[in-house]
Structure 1
């Protein structure tokens, strides 16, 4: 093989390797179920921002979700701390088409440092729910047929009414569960974790350890006091026993 052909081949391979996947800094795209699949997708994104930008990005992302700027979105949980190393977490449920846009908004001015995606297969749960729903409907139709009979006593009618009421409650619960399953299938659960470079640096970890020093000292002191409190009754009981054993030992050795 001629030298110029080798150089050309290496250049082509290098170009393919560079295009093998998007950089970590790119926004995460949402996942949508294919026909016949029942996967509930969850994403976890780690975002690194300057400390003074974290609060602003959390507020902007939260507002975008609540206003459904990028599609149907529900805010599930929000947490933020404003100590020497600000951090925060947002957990939301959003339509797949909105995942990329809201991730880009959340990481504006920073970078994505980690991301992961997992899926839970709900096929069995959906199948069980449908089977139970059909079974309850059959029971309901059977009760309705009995109700149309003219030879039923009042006690039988009351019993049928109670059974129908119980079935209605079960059907409503099944319907709510089915709606929740469908919601998980139609949307993605997205958790955004915000942190600053200071938090992940050695100096940041040292500062965080010092900030927990007072709490750790107080907790350790409290545990010591509790240990002494639990041990005191045993010491009171064992002290006379120890004295008695000491006297007995002296008598035995004195002989």
Structure 2
């Protein structure tokens, strides 16, 4: 009896694992259509038209992963202070409300400064803190230049992942019960343990995937881009002269460095070439003097 029952359970388990996605999709559609089906008169089977982005009473809540992107123009002298305040506010809020993923400040010149912040935030907390972002930039003499909000519907992906995980857990329970069955041969036990290891690996993978998707829903992604305000005009008519005087020392040093490099390159050739040229010149003169002597 055990020899017949074991292969049957393994075959059913593999078939259940392979068909999880199709069953999940079917179950998801039936749950959405349940309110309508309750009020309908029994009728023959027919194709149900697909309805997207329609949320009705009793239907599953949509799980949306939001992404926010904001760009600010801030005076250069206050840009780093404003961006670091956001980082400090996030740390004070705690990891359950705000998490800094990346933060950087780039200073190309005193008038060209930029900062970028990537963080994950709890939606309700960020809904209130969003006002603080705008007010802090305005208090520093800046303004918000662009806003972008996007959302990705992860309802189907999370529902499918949960259904697949439940199926794998049921299959693991059945395999564990087979290991405890008396009268199983060594070959059967090895087959069950091999299948149990494969199922356990899929359970861990599915659990991690569903956890990541749910994290994207519970913690929205926010990108903040801070750029320094462009200088409208020069401060005075003597600005070019002041700029030239500022670069004077650097220009002289650069020219002197090029001269030193030229001497360093030509000096070895001069040490060898000058004596050779001097010997050749003397030989040429002697030869010319010999040709000019009068014949006796």
Range into which the TM-score falls when normalised by the shorter chain? 0.5 to 0.7
Does residue 194 (structure 1) correspond to residue 226 (structure 2)? The answer is yes
Q: 1:173–1:88: structure 2 CA closer, same or farther, 3 Å change rule? A: same
Q: Is the 8 A contact 1:133 1:174 kept in 2?
A: yes
Q: How big is the shift at 1:100?
A: 3.9
Q: 1:65–1:105: structure 2 CA closer, same or farther, 3 Å change rule? A: same
Alpha-carbon distance between aligned partners in 1 of 2:233 and 2:180, rounded to the nearest angstrom: 78
Q: For residue 116 of structure 2, what is the aligned residue in structure 1?
A: 89
Does residue 142 (structure 1) correspond to residue 142 (structure 2)? The answer is no
Q: Is the 8 A contact 1:70 1:101 kept in 2?
A: no
Q: List structure 1 runs of 4+ shifted beyond 6 angstroms.
A: none
Q: How big is the shift at 1:182?
A: 1.4
The total of aligned residue pairs comes to 169
Q: For residue 92 of structure 2, what is the aligned residue in structure 1?
A: 67
Q: How big is the shift at 1:106?
A: 4.0
Q: For residue 23 of structure 1, what is the aligned residue in structure 2?
A: none
Q: Is the 8 A contact 1:46 1:112 kept in 2?
A: yes
Q: How big is the shift at 1:66?
A: 2.6
The alignment's C-alpha RMSD in Å is 2.5
Q: Unaligned 5+ residue runs, structure 1? A: 1-33, 204-255
Does the residue aligned with 2:62 lie in a helix, a strand or coil? coil
Q: How big is the shift at 1:35?
A: 6.4
**Which structure has the bigger radius of gyration?**
2
Q: For residue 81 of structure 2, what is the aligned residue in structure 1?
A: 56
Q: Unaligned 5+ residue runs, structure 2? A: 1-58, 235-296
Does the residue aligned with 1:191 lie in a helix, a strand or coil? strand
Alpha-carbon distance between aligned partners in 2 of 1:181 and 1:194, rounded to the nearest angstrom: 29
Written as runs of structure 1 = structure 2, the 5 A alignment for 1:15-164 is: 36-68=61-93, 72-84=97-109, 85-107=112-134, 108=136, 109=140, 110-164=142-196
Q: How big is the shift at 1:71?
A: 5.7
Q: For residue 222 of structure 1, what is the aligned residue in structure 2?
A: none
Alpha-carbon distance between aligned partners in 2 of 1:124 and 1:56, rounded to the nearest angstrom: 42
Q: 1:56–1:71: structure 2 CA closer, same or farther, 3 Å change rule? A: farther
Q: For residue 241 of structure 1, what is the aligned residue in structure 2?
A: none
Task: Name the TM-score, length of structure 2 as normaliser.
Answer: 0.52
Q: For residue 165 of structure 1, what is the aligned residue in structure 2?
A: 197
Q: 1:196–1:177: structure 2 CA closer, same or farther, 3 Å change rule? A: same
